[in-house]
Chains A and B, each alone.
Chain A
Amino acid sequence: MWLWNKIKQLTIPSRTGVVTLRYPYKPRPAPAGFRGQPVWDHTKCIGCAGCASNCPARTIFLRDICQEIRILIYDSSRCTYCGRCADLCPEKAITMSENFELATDNRQDITQTIELFMMTCQRCGRCYDLEIKNALDKLQMLGYRYDSLEVRKVIGQSTPEFEPEHLEKTATYRRPEKLEKSSCGKD
Chain B
Amino acid sequence: MTILSGFWLFWLSLLLASFLALILKKKTNYLRSAGTLLLCLSCLILILISLSILGKGGSPLEFEVKVGSFHLPFLIDGLSALFLLLLSVLTLASVIFSLDFVKKYKGDEFWKYYLILPLFIGGLAGLLTVDDLGPGFTLAWQLMVISSYLLIRWGRPTKVSARPALVYLLFMEAAWLMITGSAFLAKGYIFGDSLGTVGLKLAQSGPWQAILFFSLLFLGFGIKTGVFPFGQWWIPDAYSTAWPQVSSLLAGLLEKTGVFGLIRIFFFVAKSSGAAFNPDLWGKVLVVAGVITLFIGTVQAIKQSDYLRLLAYSSIGQVGYIIFALGSSLLAWNSSLPLAKSLASVIFIAAVYHSLNHGIFKGLLFLLGGNLLYATGTRDLNRLGGLLSVMPVSGFLAAIASYSISGMPASSGFVSKWLMISSNFLAGRDSLLLTLSGIVALFTAAFTLACYVKFFGLAFTSAGASWKLKRSIKEVPWKLLASEIFLTVICLSQAFLPMGYVKLIDRSLGLSSGFLLSEAGGDLLSGKMFSLKIHDGQSLLAATSPLLMLFLIVLLAFLAYWFSRSAHPAETKVPAWLCGYQDLNLNNVYADRHVFSDLKKFFWWTGGSPKKVIDDNDPTVLPDSQPKGEVE
Within the complex, are A and B direct neighbours (CB within 8 Å)? no
B interface with A by C-beta (< 8 Å): none
